[in-house]
Amino acid sequence: MEMKKNVIITSIDFHYGNFFLNHWLRSLKTNINLKNIDIIVLDYGLTNNQKKKLLQQNVIIVNCVSSGHIVNKRFTDAAQFLKTTNYDQVLFADGGDIIFQEDISHLFKKDKTKFRAIALDLEVLFYEAFIPFNFGWKNSKKIYDFLIKKPVLNAGFILGPKKKFIEICIKMERLIANKHAYGPDQVALNYYLYKNKVKLLDKKYNFMIGTVKEGFTIKNGLFFTKDGQKIAVVHNAGHNRYLRPMKNFGYAIKSNKLNKFIYYFRLIFYSVLGTIKKFISK
């Protein structure tokens, strides 16, 4: 019996197309065993030249039309595409702010009936910021009461079985009332992930520079933990590029200069938020 393939799905537009080609995709192909894995790009406006280069790299491009914020639409479009496929496991990953430094293909073979995700270390008041105005009053209260004491699971690196992933994407689309806003996708995803079985992965598989307590070092453009272990997946997350802790982020020797002001400001700010929230919730 032929083994089913797995798939990595991401979404991108022309703004991040060159980063995707030169850093995301290159780091993925350099470090990950893709023997049984397809790469799918949900295209929200790549240039013809960018698409040509992706096709030369054997990337499968799915043309999409943005009818709302891309962070919400990508889940709906991913589900529609996956319905037509026979994949086993799905890795849904951000395309504009991630690099891969070690093989993660073994994750497809473990805990295959569960979703796998990474929880944020620091309190970022994510639920407080993105639940109001995006779900309607009745649903907002229900979602907030359910999630309030649970750590935020980041949507930038989610693994799960195909069938369950499709189901969760469909439910997210129905739940989100304001599909033009940034943020409700991660709230809806957290809501349904916690209603399913979730295996928390080691933070090295989605090392979010701006919200992880553990320090790191950079050598020749690569990221390592303080004890010298190479970090598997590095995530330079932020609502926009000005809030991201790394400048010149990428997979190259001359890449990755720390924006110390943003980095330490975020750590201090989120630590203070966490302390205040714990105090208020007592």
Tell me the CATH number at 162.
3.90.550.10
Question: What is the model's pLDDT at position 281?
Answer: 65
In this prediction, residue 2 has a pLDDT band, given cuts at 50, 70 and 90, of: low
Handedness of CA 135, 12, 219, 105 (dihedral sign): positive
Distance of CA 145 to the CA centre of its chain: 24
Q: Is the pLDDT of residue 61 over 60?
A: yes
What's the chain's length in residues?
282
The one-character DSSP state at 22 is I
Shared domain check, 92 and 130: yes
Question: What is the model's pLDDT at position 268?
Answer: 85
Task: Mark residue 230 as left, alpha or beta (left: phi above 0; alpha: psi -120 to 50; beta: remaining).
Answer: beta
* Domain annotation covers residue 1: no
Q: Is the pLDDT of residue 121 over 60?
A: yes
Q: What mean pLDDT do residues 13-34 have?
A: 96
Q: What mean pLDDT do residues 109-136 have?
A: 92
Total number of domains constituting the chain: 2
Shared domain check, 182 and 84: yes
Tokens matching residue 10: 């991401």
In this prediction, residue 198 has a pLDDT band, given cuts at 50, 70 and 90, of: very high
Shared domain check, 22 and 162: yes
In this prediction, residue 197 has a pLDDT band, given cuts at 50, 70 and 90, of: confident
Shared domain check, 80 and 62: yes
Question: What is the model's pLDDT at position 112?
Answer: 96
Q: What is the mean pLDDT of the chain?
A: 93
Q: Which of 144, 175, 205 is the last residue of a domain?
A: 205
Residue 49 lies in domain: 6-205
Task: Mark residue 115 as left, alpha or beta (left: phi above 0; alpha: psi -120 to 50; beta: remaining).
Answer: beta
Q: What is the pTM of this model?
A: 0.94
Question: What is the model's pLDDT at position 203?
Answer: 95
In DSSP terms, which residues pair with 161 in a beta bridge? 89
Instruction: Say which residue the tokens 């105090």 belong to.
Output: 279
Shared domain check, 170 and 103: yes
Q: Are 10 and 42 in contact (CB under 8 A)?
A: yes
Question: What is the model's pLDDT at position 239?
Answer: 76
Q: What mean pLDDT do residues 245-261 have?
A: 94
Shared domain check, 178 and 146: yes
Distances (CA, A) of 261 to 17, 189, 247, 268, 272: 28, 31, 11, 11, 16
Q: Which of 179, 205, 231 is the last residue of a domain?
A: 205
* Domain annotation covers residue 65: yes
